[in-house]
Amino acid sequence: MSGKRAKLWFDFENAPQVLVLEPLIRRFREEGYGTVLTARRFSMTVELCRKRGLDAVELGSGSTSGSTVVKILKVFQRAFKLKRLLKNQKPLIGISHASRSQLLAGKMLGVPVVILDDYEHSDQSLVRFASRLLAPYAIPAEVWGRHSSKVVQYPGIKENLYLTGLTMSNDLPPDVLANPDSVILLFRPESGTAHYHSEESARLQREILDMISMRKGVLVVVFPRCEEQRIQIRELFADRPAMVTFPEVTDGPNLIAHSDLVIGGGGTMTREAAALGVPSYSFFSGEWGGVDRQLVTEGRLVRIRNSKDVAGIRIEQRKNSITVPDSETLDFVYGYLKKVIVELRAADGTAVEA
């Protein structure tokens, strides 16, 4: 925590949210705003905070269980822990990428929470507790129904927030550095516990991995979602010509910028690749949102639906250079949040302490 009274509260529920919020945190800190950061122990979130030098307080954990009841219970348990942590230093505002626990804790504390969200088909039941909702132009505000008046749309996609100004470095996993002539293929498995998981998506994932494992001159860089996936994929490649590696916490965008293609069953890594101009393939089996549909329309993302699409994946070294997004998205989101904070400061009648 920084400051005698931390005014801006950022919460991370999942690892990608660390990258999304970090540029905003650093800008506010540069202007002297006090901050408090909280993070859930789930999917390398805490570890990524540490790697990025963010002093987040670890609070609560996620569930790898597919049980809806267990997941809901975890959200409420963490919300009460957040409330206890912050009750004596009531922040001016909460900011997150749709942190459910933060929305609940903010409601209990009387703290307004502004969220970012770029997938309209996720659970939206707690949007009622948000003060404002920032979403890309690709998603019509009307999809939030009676809460559409809370929606403020921004240009670009959320990945632009932290890909702006990206510079490539050689801070790469050792196996990548040791295989300069290989096709570098990043693979992100689907989530086996998400609501969108299905037998069809599991079949597609197996088919894709089988196809990759038979190729020569390929280094498959895998970011499993759990230890079970790591074991399963390692066994699959045990006697195959393709190589496979499982990096620890690493600079994902930099690694993507050095890769030849990305294949994923989720959303963030495939959108990062699309934003940077790296060939990107998605076998995400849930309902596709406006952002991903727009990327497909623009030719920056390829959707994998069936065996024919799997056969069409081009596993080859990338010939084009990466394209780094400009600062339009970051400038807009930061500017809007700054406006909200200034209004809250005026209403609160106190200065922000750095």
The sign one gets for the Cα dihedral 197, 201, 205, 210 is: positive
Structure confidence at residue 90 (pLDDT): 83
- Tally of CB atoms within 10 A around 40: 27
Q: Chain-wide mean pLDDT for the chain?
A: 91
Structure confidence at residue 194 (pLDDT): 57
pLDDT of 67 over the 90 cut: no
pLDDT band at 353 (very low <50, low <70, confident <90, very high): very low
223, 280, 17, 107 alpha-carbon torsion, rounded to 10°: -120
Same CATH topology for 8-164+327-348 and 174-311? yes
CA distances 198 to 48, 54, 66, 193, 236, Å, are: 29, 36, 12, 10, 20
The whole-angstrom separation of Cα 144 and Cα 272 is 25
Average pLDDT of 7-35? 95
CA distances 157 to 60, 217, 268, 292, Å, are: 29, 33, 11, 10
Structure confidence at residue 43 (pLDDT): 79
Domain residue limits, the chain: 8-164+327-348, 174-311
Given a contact cutoff of 8 angstroms between Cβ atoms, the answer to whether 226 and 42 are in contact is no
pLDDT band at 243 (very low <50, low <70, confident <90, very high): very high
311-346 per-position pLDDT tens digit: 999 999 999 999 999 999 999 999 999 999 999 887
pLDDT band at 2 (very low <50, low <70, confident <90, very high): very low
Given a contact cutoff of 8 angstroms between Cβ atoms, the answer to whether 35 and 2 are in contact is yes
The whole-angstrom separation of Cα 303 and Cα 292 is 9
Q: Tokens for 80?
A: 């009460």
pLDDT of 351 over the 90 cut: no
CA distances 73 to 80, 86, 123, 302, 313, Å, are: 11, 20, 15, 36, 40
Given a contact cutoff of 8 angstroms between Cβ atoms, the answer to whether 280 and 301 are in contact is yes
pTM higher than 0.85: yes
Query: Is residue 146 exposed (0-12), middle (13-18) or buried (19+ Cβ within 10 Å)?
Result: exposed
Strand pairing of 113-116 and 183-188? Answer: unpaired
Whose structure tokens read 């020569």? 216
Average pLDDT of 202-225? 93
The whole-angstrom separation of Cα 153 and Cα 161 is 14
The whole-angstrom separation of Cα 253 and Cα 278 is 11
Give the type of residue at 195. H
Average pLDDT of 82-98? 94
Read out DSSP for 5-26? S--EEEEESSHHHHHHHHHHHH
The phi-psi region of residue 155 (left if phi > 0; otherwise alpha if psi is between -120 and 50; otherwise beta) is beta
Lowest mean pLDDT among 39-48, 175-184, 196-205: 196-205
Average pLDDT of 76-102? 95
Given a contact cutoff of 8 angstroms between Cβ atoms, the answer to whether 1 and 91 are in contact is no
The whole-angstrom separation of Cα 100 and Cα 125 is 9
Q: Tokens for 168?
A: 């490539």
pLDDT band at 120 (very low <50, low <70, confident <90, very high): very high
* List of residues 6+ apart from 338 with CB closer than 8 A: none
Three-class secondary structure of residue 307 per DSSP: helix
Given a contact cutoff of 8 angstroms between Cβ atoms, the answer to whether 352 and 295 are in contact is no
Structure confidence at residue 199 (pLDDT): 79
The CATH architecture of the domain made up of 8-164+327-348 is 3-Layer(aba) Sandwich (3.40)
Q: What is the Cα 144 distance to its own chain's centre? A: 21
130-172 per-position pLDDT tens digit: 999 999 999 999 999 999 999 999 999 999 999 998 999 999 9
The closest alpha carbon to 139, from 117, 123, 160, belongs to 117
The whole-angstrom separation of Cα 93 and Cα 339 is 12
Question: Class of 174-311 per CATH?
Answer: alpha beta
- In this structure, the chain runs to a length of 354
Q: Tokens for 151?
A: 């929606």
> How many contiguous H segments (helices) and E segments (strands) does the chain have?
13, 13
